[in-house]
Structure 1
Amino acid sequence: MTINIKEPIIFSNQLIAAFEEVIVTPKRSKTESYYTGVDLGTSCIVLAVLDENQQPVAGAYRYANVVKDGMIVDYLGAIQIVKELKMELEQKLATELHYCAAALPPGTETLDSGVIRHVVEAAGFEITALLDEPTAANGVLNIRNGAIVDIGGGTTGITILEEGQVIGVTDEATGGTHFSLVVSGAYGLSFEKADEFKRNALNHQELLPILTPVIEKVASIVNQAISSFNVSRIYLVGGTCCLTGIESIIEKETQIPTFKPDNPMFVTPIGIALSCTEIVL
Structure 2
Amino acid sequence: MMEKANALILQMEKCIANENPIKVEGKLKVGVDLGTANIVITVLDSNDIPVAGAIYPADVVRDGIVVNFVEAVQIIRKLKAQLEKQLGRELIYAATAIPPGIMEGNVRVIKNVVEGGGFIVTNVLDEPTAAANILNINSGAVVDIGGGTTGISILKDGKVIYSADEPTGGRHLTLVTAGALNMEYEDAEEYKKDINNYNMVFTMVRPVIEKMSSIIQKHIKGYNIDTIYLVGGTCCLRNIENVVEEYTGVKTVKTYNPLLATPLGIAISVK
Determine the C-alpha separation between the residues in 2 that align with 1:30 and 1:261.
27
The yes-or-no answer on 1:85 pairing with 2:79 is: yes
Cα deviation for residue 29 of structure 1 reads 3.1
Equivalent residue for 1:216, pick from 210, 215, 218: 210
Cα deviation for residue 109 of structure 1 reads 5.3
Question: Tell me, what secondary structure is at the counterpart of 1:124?
Answer: coil
C-alpha contact (below 8 Å) 1:58/1:89 kept by paired residues: yes
Tell me which residue corresponds to 2:12: 19
- Dislocated runs of 4+, deviation >4 Å: none
Tell me which residue corresponds to 2:40: 46
Determine the C-alpha separation between the residues in 1 that align with 2:81 and 2:146.
26
Question: Tell me, what secondary structure is at the counterpart of 1:196?
Answer: helix
The Cα offsets for residues 103-145 of structure 1, whole Å up to 9 and x where unpaired, read as 1000125131211121111111111111111111111011112
Equivalent residue for 1:200, pick from 187, 194, 198: 194
Determine the C-alpha separation between the residues in 2 that align with 1:30 and 1:230.
44
The yes-or-no answer on 1:66 pairing with 2:60 is: yes
The yes-or-no answer on 1:156 pairing with 2:150 is: yes
Cα deviation for residue 260 of structure 1 reads 0.3
Q: Partner amino acid for 2:197? A: N
* TM-score, reference length from structure 1: 0.92
Cα deviation for residue 188 of structure 1 reads 1.7
C-alpha contact (below 8 Å) 1:31/1:52 kept by paired residues: no
The Cα offsets for residues 52-108 of structure 1, whole Å up to 9 and x where unpaired, read as 221111111111110000110100010011111111111211221111110100012
The yes-or-no answer on 1:260 pairing with 2:260 is: no
**Structure 2: any 5+ residue segments left out of the alignment?**
none
Cα deviation for residue 205 of structure 1 reads 3.0
* TM-score, reference length from structure 2: 0.96
Question: Tell me, what secondary structure is at the counterpart of 1:203?
Answer: helix
Cα deviation for residue 249 of structure 1 reads 0.7
C-alpha contact (below 8 Å) 1:176/1:240 kept by paired residues: yes
The number of residue pairs the alignment matches comes to: 270
Structure 2 counterparts to residues 122-271 of structure 1, below 5 A: 122-271=116-265
Determine the C-alpha separation between the residues in 1 that align with 2:187 and 2:69.
24
Cα deviation for residue 198 of structure 1 reads 1.8
Determine the C-alpha separation between the residues in 1 that align with 2:194 and 2:261.
19
Question: Tell me, what secondary structure is at the counterpart of 2:134?
Answer: helix
Q: Partner amino acid for 2:11? A: A
Cα deviation for residue 196 of structure 1 reads 2.1
The Cα offsets for residues 164-207 of structure 1, whole Å up to 9 and x where unpaired, read as 22122111111111101001112222111212222233432331
**Structure 1: any 5+ residue segments left out of the alignment?**
1-6
Segment drifting more, 200-209 vs 62-71? 200-209
Q: Partner amino acid for 2:265? A: G
Determine the C-alpha separation between the residues in 2 that align with 1:85 and 1:197.
27
Q: Partner amino acid for 1:11? A: K
The Cα offsets for residues 200-240 of structure 1, whole Å up to 9 and x where unpaired, read as 33432331111110000001111111112101111100000
Q: What RMSD in Å do the two structures reach over aligned CA positions?
A: 1.3
Tell me which residue corresponds to 1:106: 100
Percent identity between the two aligned chains:
47
